[in-house]
Amino acid sequence: MNFKKIIQENKLEPYFIKGSFGIEKEGLRADKEGYLALTDHPALFGNRNHHPYIQTDFSESQLELVTPPQDTLKQQYQWLKALHDVVNRTLSEDEFVWPFSMPNVLPDEEDIPLIKVEDSSEIKYRKNLADKYGKKKQMISGVHFNFSFDPVFLEKLSEQFQGHDELDEWCNDLYLKMSRNYLRYQWVLTYLFGASPVSHPSLLDSESIGMVRSIRNSTYGYHNTFTDNVSYESIGRYIEDIERLVKNNTLYEEREYYGSSRLRGKGKYVSQLINNGARYIELRSFDLNPFDPLGFSYEQSLFVHVYLLTMVWMDQDNSDEDIKVGIEMNAQTSLENTFETSRYQEEGLSLLTMMKQTCRELKLPNDYSNVIDEAIHVFHHPEETLAAKIVTRLKEKSSFIDFGIELGLNYKQLSLEKPFLLNGFETMEMSSQILLYDALQMGLETTVLDENDHFLAFTYKGNKEYVRNGNMTSKDTYISHWIMANKTVTKKLLREKSFAVPDGEEFSTLTEAKNYYDLLNSKSIVVKPKSTNYGIGISIFKQSPSRKAYEDALIIAFKEDDGILVEEYIEGTEYRFFVLDEKVEAVLLREPANVTGDGEHTVRELIALKNKHPYRGENHRAPLEKIKTSEIEELMLEEQGHTFESIIENNKKVNLRENSNISTGGDSIDVTDDMHESYMRVAEEIAKALNVKVTGLDLIIPDIDLPSTKENQGYTVIEANFNPAMNMHAYVQKGKGRRLSKKVLEMLYPDIELS
């Protein structure tokens, strides 16, 4: 069938170039000495019975990361980055992911652990593989690239066919042609992306082989032992051959077929391809790329995508006999000397020229042409293949194991540098990133519904929950949001329930508010907008303000809201109580931006030093904000008799802001374990009174060691906040970080199995 002609005649090119993409990446856990880690799969990764993204392959020591199908390659890499962050941060300090396909230092066969799972059939299957191939060969790791055509493209094409059965047959033909041509030209991918030129002697003495392109793809790699080829001529023969191999005990199960291209459908068995049709193709021949932190670069995926499109777009359609030729060419290519020109260079360049033509005819973005141009360059310069680069590095200064340790630890460190951000989704607000991280670690099926709006969906055992901004869930009512957003309503409700709230007045016009000045009677006050968060528009007067200062504060507050509050100033320290599901999970003390003198450095220098803390950043991209040196901080210093150039005496603290907001450079200090239990109970009762599951309550308490009683309440409620930030509790300047995002997920899924 001439798919190119059908696509062109029906102008389906824009649909043809789209697809669904996924990556399965294997990787061994290694210790810092380069030995295979013999520890159990980390329990923090949740239960493998349901984990959709982080699994184990053959061995307990062999991780497998699985990205969910994504509509674009960029989305695929968002997930791959995120999963690597989860893995790198979860592994113990002494372990990392080995970056090569060929294993690190392996123990004796009997000491390599099989996976430890509840399903006995999975153990039995792996024992059979161990007996047949040996455990050590099973430790060779790689990348599987999954691809399917866009459903809209298939739907458009289906209009050319009469019935559903014919469409399924046609889908099978589409993926079969792709597979046939893929297998014929697979050697090109091995030349470009082969990255297993050497092996540690604990698996294989590679010195007798020489420095080759890909041991993994060669006869020394991990392949089926049978010599009969599975036919790709038709779906019937494909199914028949695999079933025959199982029936005559050549294969233990169908999944033991390790063909470089596998057709995948809806069900577990290949026979279901007849009735349901192929749904995607799984390509299994890729070595891990040790020069990319993810093991397979975005540019490689671009190349593979246009390669697959070309396999369908080309007029040529290879036969089973042609596939045999391609398999032999791939075997020979895999064992070529890394620095030699390919013996099939002419054919390779011809295919790359054809791929360039595919780019032009399909009007693909320039990124695709660029990766092909790079491949053409590499065909003329074999020393720039991945395999040759590895060998060059090994000849220069490193042993294979030392090189793997260096790369693996460096890649792990990339994930550890900013633990509060989730690479791939770092543009989302931080509480959502932390929640997403925990969901991936725990094994919840996760969908990013709207990255810009921080909207996530989770599914566990058929139960779907939606979360926005980290902790806005179905457990809270719609009206609770508005109750907490309106400070006047919050105060009235709490006063009715006999909770202590500050006295004050509400104003909707500037004139009314100005006239109130004469009634202040020299009181200390706070002027704030009626409905804003994050300390925006708030002015605090610990001493009675002048009329001008008061009116300036009114103007600032009215800029943020149509209504404002003028409240009495309450002496004491403000604490943030994070209440989740009627329980206080964390208490935070927020101190105003400050520096502590050392008798040597100026204030400006002290600020710069403090801003080096790894948790400090700018524009809300870190748990703590960097301290600024603006006019506000300058005025605050002047009031204390200092400038930015002053040298402060040793251990003397100087405040740079009046308010204690983290967003203006304040410090976060966890005091959960120091807070008197009575105030914990008060906060929990406040949450019940407001009928909210998640809230951040701001209480002013003069002395946290004195218990709250009916006679002496000992606190004043300043605010109740909906959607309270969680990142400032997780990553604190001082004290114990509290992972509240996990508590949110446990509230949504109280029955989740975590190990």
Which residues partner with 212 through β-bridges? 337
Helix (H/G/I), strand (E/B), else coil: 506: strand
Digit-coded pLDDT (tens) for 173-190: 999 999 999 999 999 999
pLDDT of residue 164: 52
Nearest to 301 by CA among 13, 77, 16, 149: 77
Give whole-number Cα distances, 421 to 418, 427, 439, 611, in Å. 6, 9, 14, 18
How confident is the model at residue 660, as a pLDDT?
A: 82
Do the bridges between strand 594-596 and strand 616-617 make them parallel or antiparallel, or are there none, so unpaired?
unpaired
| Phi, psi (rounded to 5 degrees) for 158 | -65, -20
- What gap in Å lies between CA 391 and CA 473, rounded to an integer? 53
The predicted pLDDT at position 430 comes to 96
The answer to whether the beta carbons of residues 263 and 182 sit under 8 Å apart is: no
Q: Which domains does the chain have, with CATH numbers?
A: 3-417 (3.30.590.20), 503-568 (3.30.1490.20)
Write out residues in the chain with pLDDT < 70, as ranges. 161-167, 227-228, 533-535, 755
> Helix (H, G, I), strand (E, B), or coil: what is residue 9?
helix
pLDDT at 531: 79
Q: Let me know: does 183 contact 319? Beta carbons within 8 Å.
A: no
User: What whole-number distance in Å separates Cα of residue 485 and Cα of residue 575?
Assistant: 19
- The pLDDT, as a whole number, for residue 167 is 65
List Cβ neighbours of 669 (8 Å cut-off, separation of 6 or more).
588, 589, 590, 591, 732, 733, 734, 735
From the list 629, 606, 627, the residue with the least C-alpha distance to 618 is 627
Residues 509-566 have pLDDT tens digits of 999 999 999 888 888 989 989 877 666 788 888 888 899 989 999 999 999 999 999 9
pLDDT score for 755: 62
CB environment 599-632: b (16+ within 10 A), e (fewer): eeebbeebbeebbeeebbbeeeebbbbbbbbeee
pLDDT at 686: 98
The rounded distance, in Å, linking the Cα atoms of 293 and 425 is 17
Which residues are CB-neighbours of 482 under 8 A, at least 6 positions away?
A: 489
358 vs 352: CA distance, rounded Å: 10
Q: Please give the full DSSP string across 626-672, using - where no structure is assigned.
A: PPP-SHHHHHHHHHTT--TTPBPPTT-EEES-SS--GGGT-EEEE-T
Question: What per-residue confidence (pLDDT) applies to 165?
Answer: 57
Q: How many residues does the chain have?
A: 755
The CA–CA distances, whole Å, from 320 to 104, 262, 271, 631 equal 37, 15, 20, 77
CA 421 to chain centre: 9
Q: What pLDDT is attached to residue 723?
A: 94
Number of Cβ atoms within 10 Å of the Cβ of 747? 17
Report the C-alpha gap between 258 and 224 in whole angstroms: 6
Q: How far is CA 463 from CA 189, 233, 446, 502, in A?
A: 42, 43, 12, 43
Q: How far is CA 398 from CA 87, 212, 287, 337, 395, in A?
A: 26, 18, 20, 20, 7
Q: Can you tell me the distance from the alpha carbon of 637 to that of 646, in angstroms, rounded to the nearest whole number?
A: 9
Predicted confidence at residue 577, as pLDDT, reads 99
